[in-house]
Amino acid sequence: MIGAPAFAAQADTNYVALGDSFASGTGTRDYFEDSGDCLRSPKAYPQLLADANGATSFSFDACSGATTDDLNADQLGSLSADTTLVTVQIGGNDIGFAKVIQNCLLGNDEACEGAVAEGEAQTRDELPAKLDATYAGIRSAAPNAEIVVVGYPRITELGDCGIPGFTDAKREQINAGADVLAEVISEQAQAAGFAYADPRDSFDGHGVCGDPEWINGPSTPLQESFHPNVSGHADGYLPTVSSAVGSAAEVLG
């Protein structure tokens, strides 16, 4: 694995991974049996990060489908004053990620544009307060931890694509929405004093319709669709998150 020795030098790293399906590893097609509908994968970037760095303890609490409300209600129990590292990736479900993808796949260009515009409005108008509350809850529960907020990649690439009706116009709209989401999440992370791991450059050229794809296109079962695959986690997310963890650790001394 590339670029993962971020916290190996620390004597005790107690790591907790929070978030939604992008953090749990939905899309990798390989899940821990006891994770149930949360679809936590041994090939997800939090597990890879913990394994590569020999974390003293690791609690993998991210869950497929989670919103900020779900995280606040169900995922903070593993945090404590002894927690030294937290990664958190949340917000996509709050602004209707699945609805946007469905409208853009099944509808025309105008339907896609409308769905993306609705998601962007929610991102700008509603998500900041939800993230503020979530980040404050994490900091309160883990007062001594380094906290890294993980963002989302642009989902698609332009050009030749074998998905019927998935026009360049639709893909451009989806990626524009991803940029708005990245802007808002990064701003709220900075306001909370947290590091931000931006995966967009790492995934450049490897979205849906890319070569090779690090994000699945329409898939069976449906839950695998439009999520990072094994390569997306190992080659896209892992080095991005590792770099952010290492940079934050240097700043914190």
Report which of 58, 176, 199, 48 is spatially closest to residue 120, judged by C-alpha positions: 176
CA 31 to chain centre: 17
Sign of CA dihedral 248, 240, 187, 73: negative
Distances in Å between the alpha carbon of 192 and those of 90, 129, 151, 157, 179? 15, 12, 15, 32, 20
C-alpha–C-alpha distance, residues 73 and 30, integer Å: 26
CB-based contacts of 80, cutoff 8 Å, min separation 6:
141, 142
Q: What span, in angstroms and rounded, lies between the C-alpha atoms of 16 and 58?
A: 6
- The SS3 call for residue 151 is coil
Which structure tokens are listed for 144?
Answer: 């001594």
Q: Which one of 59, 202, 227, 233 is the catalytic residue?
A: 227
Q: C-alpha distances in angstroms, 122 versus 95, 106, 125, 170, 196?
A: 6, 22, 5, 19, 21
Q: Which of 88, 106, 87, 122 lies closest to 249, judged by CA?
A: 87
Q: Name the active-site residue from 21, 24, 64, 225.
A: 21
CA atoms within 13 A on the CB side of 178: 23
- Cβ-based neighbours of 239, under 8 Å, separated by 6 or more: 2, 3, 4, 202
Question: Is 21 marked active-site?
Answer: yes
Catalytic residues: 21, 227
